[in-house]
Amino acid sequence: MLSKEKLAIHGGIPVRDAYLPYGTQWIDNEDINAVINVLNSDYLTTGPKIAEFEKEVANYTGAKYAVSFSNGTAALHGACFAAGIKEGDEVITTPMTFAASANCILYQGAKPIFADINPDNYNVSPKSIENLITKKTKAIIAVDFAGQPSDLDHILTIAQEHNLIVIEDAAHSLGATYKESKIGSRCDMTMFSFHPVKHITTGEGGMITTNDKEFRDRLIQFRNHGITRDRSRFKEEHGPWYYEMQLLGYNYRMTDFQAALGLSQLKKLDNFIKRRKEIASMYSKAFENIEQIRIPVNCKESQSSWHLYVIRLNQEKLTVNRKEIFEALVSENIGVNVHYIPVYYHPYYHEIGYKKGLCPNSEKLYEEIITLPLFPKMSEKDIFDVIKAVKKVISFYSND
Ligand SMILES: *Cc1c(COP(=O)(O)O)cnc(C)c1O
C-alpha cells in the first residue's frame, strides 16, 4: 500500500508539514534561571560554578578529576597536549568521526593515522589499530560512535603492550556504560562535548575526565595560557602579583554561566538518555524486519547512550542509492544527516597527503548510512512521522 503513495519528492504530500531537525537541545525554565542567577552574581567566568560542574561530572562518570574547556575540540587539544603528543609522533584514530577527533592531533604537530572500523558497530577495530602501530605511535584516540562504547578493554590492552596513551572521544557517549561502569574513568583521559546536539549542553563546552593528577594539572594550565599561580612550581619569585606562564597554552576556559547551565542539564541527563533509548527501540522495532535497512546493533558488554540512530541501507534491495533516499526523506520534512564523511576525505586532509582507499570498511559504510532524528524532546508524533517516512521512502524504492 505504501509503495503506491507518491513521495513528496515526486510531488506527493510530505509526511510532515514542518521540518524535524536531527537533533536539538532541551532547555527548560530551571536551566534558564540557573544561567540568570550567575549573570546576577560576581563571577562570570572561572567562578564557583566551574568547580561545581567539574565535581559533578567527575562524580557522574566515576573519574577522580574533571577539567572543563570552552568546547569539546579544545578539550581534545588539551588531552593531546597533556599526553605529550608532539611533532614526529603518530596517533591512531578512526575516520568515522567528526574532524575534531583528528584535527587535535594536527594541532600538536603530530600525524593522525586512520585505523579502519569494525563493520558490526562502526567503532574503530582493535585489530586494525594493532596493525598500524610503529615506533612513532604515541597514543590512540578511540571514538564511541553514536554513543556505543568502543572495545575499550581490547584497546587498553594493546596500548599497555606498546606503552601508548588512550584518549577516549566520548562526545557521543556521556552516560553510556561499558562492562557495568559509566564511560569516563577507564581510559587515560575521556573527552565530553556539550554542544547543543549532544546529551547535555552548555551552548559550547567540553570536559576531560581523568584519574591522573598529572594530566589534570597539565590540562588546567593548558586551558589558561600555560599560566600557573602555584608558588611551589615557580621558577622565580617577584612578589605578591607574580604568576608564571611556563608553557604555551590557550584561553580555552568555560564561563561560569555555561557551567551553571551544565549543572542544571546534568540533573536531567538520565531522563534524557532513557528517552533516547525508548526512541531508539521504537525505531529498531519498526525497522527490524525491513530487509532494505540494517538497524544499529548493541554490543553485549555495553549500553549505548544513543546519541545517534544510524541506519545502513542494503543497496542490493534498493533501486536507488543513499543520495536519493536521503533527498526523499528531506522532502518528507525529516531532518536526516550523515555521520560521518571519513575525515581523510576532506580537502584539507587530501592537501596534506591523505588519499582515498585507506579504510575500505569506513568508506563503504559512508556510502550507505543515514542518521535519523533522535533527541529527547521528540514527541510520539515526531517518532511515528520518522517511521512512516522511512517506510514510505524505502518501500517506494524497494526492488521487490
Ligand atoms: C561534537 C564532537 C566533537 C567536538 O565537540 P565540540 O564541543 O563541538 O567542539 C568531537 N568529537 C566528536 C565525535 C563529536 O561528535
Give the pLDDT score at 4: 56
Which H/E stretch holds residue 283?
helix 269-287
Reduce the DSSP state of residue 46 to 3 states and report it. Answer: coil
pTM above 0.95, yes or no: yes
DSSP 254: P
Question: Would you say 107 and 250 are in contact if contact means Cβ atoms under 8 Å apart?
Answer: no
Tell me the per-residue pLDDT of 78-135, one tens digit each, with 9 for 90 and over.
Answer: 999 999 999 999 999 999 999 999 999 999 999 999 999 999 999 999 999 999 999 9
Tell me which fold the domain 29-266 belongs to. Answer: Aspartate Aminotransferase; domain 2 (3.40.640)
Nearest atom, ligand 1, residue 197 CA: 1
Q: Where in the chain is the domain with CATH 3.40.640.10?
A: 29-266
Instruction: Name the residue of 76, 94, 101 whose CB sits within 8 Å of the most ligand 1 atoms, as the mutation to test its pocket.
Output: 101
Question: Would you say 363 and 357 are in contact if contact means Cβ atoms under 8 Å apart?
Answer: yes
Ligand 1 contacts CB of residue 143 (under 6 A): yes
Ligand 1 contacts CB of residue 72 (under 6 A): yes
Reduce the DSSP state of residue 262 to 3 states and report it. Answer: helix
Ligand 1 contacts CB of residue 147 (under 6 A): no
Residue 329 CA from chain centroid, whole number? 24
DSSP 6: P
Question: Would you say 216 and 65 are in contact if contact means Cβ atoms under 8 Å apart?
Answer: yes
pLDDT one digit per residue (tens) for the chain, 400 residues: 455 568 999 999 999 999 999 999 999 999 999 999 999 999 999 999 999 999 999 999 999 999 999 999 999 999 999 999 999 999 999 999 999 999 999 999 999 999 999 999 999 999 999 999 999 999 999 999 999 999 999 999 999 999 999 999 999 999 999 999 999 999 999 999 999 999 999 999 999 999 999 999 999 999 999 999 999 999 999 999 999 999 999 999 999 999 999 999 999 999 999 999 999 999 999 999 999 999 998 778 999 999 999 999 999 999 999 999 999 999 999 999 999 999 999 999 999 999 999 999 999 999 999 999 999 999 999 999 999 999 999 999 999 7
Dist. CA 389 → ligand 1 center (Å): 29
Tell me which fold the domain 4-24+269-396 belongs to. Answer: Aspartate Aminotransferase, domain 1 (3.90.1150)
Ligand 1 contacts CB of residue 172 (under 6 A): yes
Dist. CA 73 → ligand 1 center (Å): 6
Would you say the C-alpha torsion 361, 367, 370, 371 has a positive or negative sign? positive
Q: Where in the chain is the domain with CATH 3.90.1150.10?
A: 4-24+269-396
What is the rounded CA–CA span in Å between residue 309 and residue 8?
Answer: 23
What is the rounded CA–CA span in Å between residue 392 and residue 398?
Answer: 10
CA angle 379, 381, 386 (to 5 degrees): 100
What is the rounded CA–CA span in Å between residue 125 and residue 138?
Answer: 18
Dist. CA 339 → ligand 1 center (Å): 12
Question: Would you say 184 and 202 are in contact if contact means Cβ atoms under 8 Å apart?
Answer: no
Label residue 217 exposed, middle or buried (CB < 10 Å: 0-12, 13-18, 19+). Answer: middle
What is the rounded CA–CA span in Å between residue 105 and residue 90?
Answer: 8
